[in-house]
Homo-oligomer: A and B are copies of this chain.
Amino acid sequence: MEKDLTSVPRNDYHRPSLMERNSTTPISEWNDSIDGLEGGTSDHAIRCHLPSPKGTKVSPLTKYKPTKITRSRKTKRWSQLEEETRKTAVDKFGRGKWKLMLDSNKDIFKERTEVDLNDKWRSMTRYGCK
């Protein structure tokens, strides 16, 4: 079953849910969470990377494994105006008030979500760039 690729805006709230997107994805959400002792002196930054079970249960006949994760949105780089607005909004409302920023600048962030704002903020601060 193919999905429609008409670049649905994010209003379509059909969540494909990993399983639908990639049927070989193991349902390992909490079976091996190693983030145990974080209360206090958490000092382990190494996540165990278990071997991915990919390929262990794939029938040799069904070689057609469309891992195309049909993104619902096309990648769109942040414009200067958007970045400026976001920066100002963070100074004004504080970090984390993404919804508020969004509502206050609907026209500018027309195609962005709160998560996008958060993502942008993260990528901007991740490497020292303010």
- Expressed in whole angstroms, the minimum distance between the Cβ of A103 and any Cβ of chain B is 9
Q: Are A33 and B77 in contact (CB under 8 A)?
A: yes
Given that A40-B40, A77-B38, A91-B2 are contacting pairs, would A68 and B99 also be in contact in the complex, using a CB cutoff of 8 Å? Answer: yes
Could you say which residues of chain B place their CB within 8 Å of the CB of A35?
A: 45, 77-80
Bound-state CA distance A52–B42 (Å) is 27
Q: Are B3 and A37 in contact (CB under 8 A)?
A: no
Residue from B40, B70, B90, B129 in contact with A94 in the complex, judged by beta carbons closer than 8 Å: B70
Query: How many copies of this kind of chain does the complex include?
Result: 2
Q: Are A94 and B3 in contact (CB under 8 A)?
A: yes
- Number of chain A residues whose Cβ lies closer than 8 Å to a Cβ of chain B: 49
Residue from B1, B30, B40, B129 in contact with A29 in the complex, judged by beta carbons closer than 8 Å: B129
Bound-state CA distance A26–B56 (Å) is 50
Q: Does A59 contact B (CB under 8 A)?
A: no
Q: Which residue of B lies closest to A76 (CB)?
A: B38
Bound-state CA distance A33–B99 (Å) is 22
Can you name 13 A-B pairs with beta carbons within 8 Å? A27-B127, A27-B129, A29-B94, A32-B125, A34-B122, A34-B125, A34-B126, A38-B76, A39-B41, A39-B79, A40-B40, A40-B41, A70-B97
